[in-house]
A and B are shown apart, each in its own frame.
Chain A
Amino acid sequence: MKTRKRSACKAALAVAITGSLLAGTAHAQLAGHNVILVHGFQQEDLANPPTDLDEVKAAGEDYWRTFWLSRSDARIDWGSDGRVEGNIAQQAYQQMREISQQGLCNDYCIVVSHSTGDLVTRYLLENQARWLQSDGLQPLKILAAIDYSGAGGGTELADLALSIAYNDSWYNWPLKQAVRAFTGITPEPGKLGVVNDLQTNTARNLAVSPNNVPRLRFVAGGSSYGGITKPFIAGTDDGVVPTHSACGATTSNGIDSCSSSLSLAGKVSNQDGPSDLYYNHFPILMNEGVSHSGVLGSETGNISVPVVNDTTLNGLRVDFASRTYNKRAWWQWWGSGDRYIEVPGSDQTDMSTLVYNTLNN
């Protein structure tokens, strides 16, 4: 989820340049494949619902401006005031039709999603082939999805937002402030839009059937909103999305890491990891320091950690010792310290640049 400031001028300008943007990004590929962006929850849409699809698209464009916009070939934008099985599906499908008609995914696209975009993508993947074929169009061929801070498993903040909407103003002040920070509004029944879909039970009962599109998961663990939301999310989190969701864990039980032997910070130690992962969900990187929206390219200085479950690949042993280091805490006077694993140099860049540069290497 990202917040944004919208103005009429800005929206009009954004709409005006949409056409030129498409032309300007015609060769913006990732590893030789066209890139489709699916953004996350935009809280501004709850306070001021977009009036039409142009406004939705303008907001979608703003969402990705930090990094991915100039590296994409198409976007699927949607209004956060709607529901996934409602306005969101309708808005998304209009754009998917265009993508199909333009043949942008004839040679397999890569979807880059953020936050609730994970859930929206999952729903669209389940239905797009049937809808497009019934309109005489080719289904989109998706090579893989790169999911940053994926909210496909929901977030406890959405569970709480619903209860807050039905309670009087006196109730539990810190919780109410956390929910306000998350939604950008004082929640009211019937005005929560896609936050309804982000309830943990609702999200985990929506379009969960296994499919053959690999979901590459990138997990953040930093703070958002000054840390006021963290106490209300199960396990570790990035201030909005719990780690159980971002990793692709099969239950909403709070977990600390995508790995049972590696913390979000890369420390080699026993962790409360997922008991299992949804089919074809592959956690790739974790980053304890980066915030929920910082994964999209705005934050550097945080170390990314490979979710190493096994250092053997195709029978060949990979020497991760060369990528590890030991560190002593301030109270440790001597000794070898704790063992950490990291992506070398990852603190010099942001998570989006890191992935983009690696794939386009």
Chain B
Amino acid sequence: MPPRLLLALTLIVSGAVGLGYFLSADNPFRFSWIAGESERESLPRSGTDNTQPKPVPIQPPTTEKQEPSGNAVGFMLASAASQYSQNIRYPTYSIPISEDLASAYSGNRFDPVELPLDGGGQFTVTLEKYRFVQEEDILVAASITGSQVVGPSLDVTLESPESRQALASATLKNESGAPYYEGVIEADAEPGEYRLIVEATIDGKPVRHASTLTIEPDLGEFDGLGDPRVANNDLIIPVHFDTKEPGFYALSAQLYHNGRALAQLQVEKRLDGTTDTLELKAHGSVLAHRKITGKLELRNLQIRRLPTSPGDRTDYGFGPEDGYSFSPPDLDGLTDSPAGDPESEHRAALLQRLADKF
């Protein structure tokens, strides 16, 4: 057989085998670009996430749909009941948190808001936070991507949503070729919700990006911590807050140790001027199984004056940026025992009874 013919036959056979594999369902690299469904091969996010599911174990493959042998919805309800039963080991005033939950519950978060532009670009505005106190500086950053021709600066205005009255304005500048525009506007307005309007001239036409922020009243002053103590399987942390007006207040904070978030703490209390102390409690279930050495920290303190009547606004105040650190008392008396909240236990029992049917 001439070598040229042999080579041609080899190429034909290997091509057929390769095409066959390419079209096989077992080819893991197949046609992901054709698939209509989302099939990103991204890996689960790393970090402190403790809810990342384990991949479902691969079972021996079958080629046909199989008859069900159980109730999948029932299984999911039973699974939720089981998770809920685990959660109520912790009282709602002291729940364990991951870093992601700490970020979610820290309050006052503003994620960048994107506005698509003609031609595929994006006009993005971001702030340090969502809520500001009166007369605080609001740092505004904006970026514009795409092939558009953009002016050298952007205008920013703080506007009342009802009256549309402009309360403050400033210019965002693009310093030394930075890929963003930046500027400061003052939150010099009555408490309430406001529109932040950033206007750019793009391809010769004005484009306005609108987002929302709030200006909060001065609720009072944080005056530090009292002496922490242990009682009834709780580490009690007194927080002094000098209120300007009486009302129902909710205080939340996050307990950290060595830079790691341990628990979200919260308490609700009426403050009427006769007392200025709210007591956060860290339950034994979030502390007893840990080796606590050195200081603990309270971070992301947030106080809310709760609406007295339906329709009233919730007002917000925030603790010192660095939070508070404190030396805990002897924690050896704390135990990792369930919280025992009667209403939650009753709810869990009802859910479990529901789940037991499956």
With A and B bound together, what is the CA distance between A270 and B52 in angstroms? 11
Q: Which residues of A contact B62 (CB under 8 A)?
A: 324-326, 336
User: Across the interface, do B83 and A279 meet the contact criterion of CB distance under 8 Å?
Assistant: no
Within 8 A of A (CB), among B189-225: 193, 195, 197, 205-212, 214
User: Across the interface, do A251 and B111 meet the contact criterion of CB distance under 8 Å?
Assistant: yes
Smallest Cβ-Cβ distance to A334: which chain B residue: B24
Shortest distance between the CB of A305 and any CB in chain B (Å): 9
With A and B bound together, what is the CA distance between A9 and B85 in angstroms? 49
B contact residues, range: 35 or more
Q: Which residues of A contact B79 (CB under 8 A)?
A: 282, 309-310, 313
Smallest Cβ-Cβ distance to B131: which chain A residue: A205
User: Across the interface, do B25 and A93 meet the contact criterion of CB distance under 8 Å?
Assistant: no
Q: Which residues of B contact A319 (CB under 8 A)?
A: 69-70
The residue from B51, B311, B354 contacting A89, defined by CB atoms under 8 A apart: B311
Interface membership of chain A positions 304-326, coded 1 if the CB is closer than 8 angstroms to chain B and 0 otherwise: 10111111011000111111111
Interface membership of chain A positions 196-216, coded 1 if the CB is closer than 8 angstroms to chain B and 0 otherwise: 100111101101111111101
Known: A205-B131, A358-B73. A199 touches B53 (CB 8 A): no
Q: Is the interface of A mostly helix, strand, loop or mixed?
A: loop
With A and B bound together, what is the CA distance between A337 and B306 in angstroms? 55
Within 8 A of B (CB), among A269-289: 269-280, 282, 284-285, 288
With A and B bound together, what is the CA distance between A314 and B104 in angstroms? 29
User: Across the interface, do A85 and B195 meet the contact criterion of CB distance under 8 Å?
Assistant: no
**B341 interfacial contact with A, CB 8 Å:** yes
**B43 interfacial contact with A, CB 8 Å:** yes
User: Across the interface, do B59 and A324 meet the contact criterion of CB distance under 8 Å?
Assistant: yes
**A240 interfacial contact with B, CB 8 Å:** no
Known: A201-B113, A263-B38. A131 touches B351 (CB 8 A): no
With A and B bound together, what is the CA distance between A311 and B71 in angstroms? 13
Q: Which residues of A contact B101 (CB under 8 A)?
A: 250, 276, 278-279
A contact residues, range: 35 or more
User: Across the interface, do A131 and B309 meet the contact criterion of CB distance under 8 Å?
Assistant: yes
**B357 interfacial contact with A, CB 8 Å:** yes
User: Across the interface, do A212 and B344 meet the contact criterion of CB distance under 8 Å?
Assistant: yes
User: Across the interface, do A288 and B37 meet the contact criterion of CB distance under 8 Å?
Assistant: yes
**B110 interfacial contact with A, CB 8 Å:** yes
User: Across the interface, do B25 and A336 meet the contact criterion of CB distance under 8 Å?
Assistant: yes
Shortest distance between the CB of A171 and any CB in chain B (Å): 7
User: Across the interface, do A200 and B59 meet the contact criterion of CB distance under 8 Å?
Assistant: no
User: Across the interface, do B69 and A323 meet the contact criterion of CB distance under 8 Å?
Assistant: yes
The residue from A172, A284, A342, A345 contacting B117, defined by CB atoms under 8 A apart: A172
**B248 interfacial contact with A, CB 8 Å:** yes
The residue from B34, B43, B54, B311 contacting A86, defined by CB atoms under 8 A apart: B311
Shortest distance between the CB of B349 and any CB in chain A (Å): 10
Q: Which residues of B contact A48 (CB under 8 A)?
A: none
The residue from B35, B63, B80 contacting A214, defined by CB atoms under 8 A apart: B80
With A and B bound together, what is the CA distance between A339 and B58 in angstroms? 8
Q: Which residues of A contact B161 (CB under 8 A)?
A: 189-190, 196
User: Across the interface, do A211 and B92 meet the contact criterion of CB distance under 8 Å?
Assistant: yes
**B259 interfacial contact with A, CB 8 Å:** no
With A and B bound together, what is the CA distance between A236 and B37 in angstroms? 10
**A138 interfacial contact with B, CB 8 Å:** no
With A and B bound together, what is the CA distance between A292 and B45 in angstroms? 28
Known: A162-B211, A335-B27. A341 touches B73 (CB 8 A): no
Q: Which residues of A contact B37 (CB under 8 A)?
A: 263-265, 267, 288
The residue from A134, A209, A285, A358 contacting B266, defined by CB atoms under 8 A apart: A209
Known: A210-B95, A214-B347. A170 touches B74 (CB 8 A): no
Known: A263-B38, A319-B69, A338-B25. A313 touches B210 (CB 8 A): no
**Contact sample, A vs B, 28 pairs, CB 8 Å cutoff:** A85-B307, A85-B311, A85-B314, A108-B346, A108-B350, A130-B306, A131-B309, A156-B114, A159-B113, A159-B211, A165-B210, A168-B206, A205-B130, A208-B107, A256-B38, A260-B44, A261-B56, A270-B40, A270-B44, A279-B95, A306-B73, A309-B51, A313-B75, A318-B75, A320-B56, A320-B72, A332-B30, A344-B68
Known: A201-B111, A284-B73. 20 other contacts (CB 8 A): A134-B308, A165-B210, A190-B161, A190-B162, A251-B100, A269-B39, A270-B42, A274-B51, A275-B49, A276-B49, A282-B83, A307-B76, A308-B53, A310-B79, A329-B35, A332-B24, A333-B23, A335-B25, A336-B26, A345-B68
List chain B positions with a Cβ less than 8 A from chain A.
20, 23-27, 30-31, 34-35, 37-45, 47, 49-80, 82-84, 87-88, 92, 95, 98, 100-101, 103-105, 107-111, 113-118, 130-131, 161-162, 164, 193, 195, 197, 205-212, 214, 248, 250, 252, 264, 266, 268, 306-314, 341, 343-344, 346-347, 350-351, 354, 357
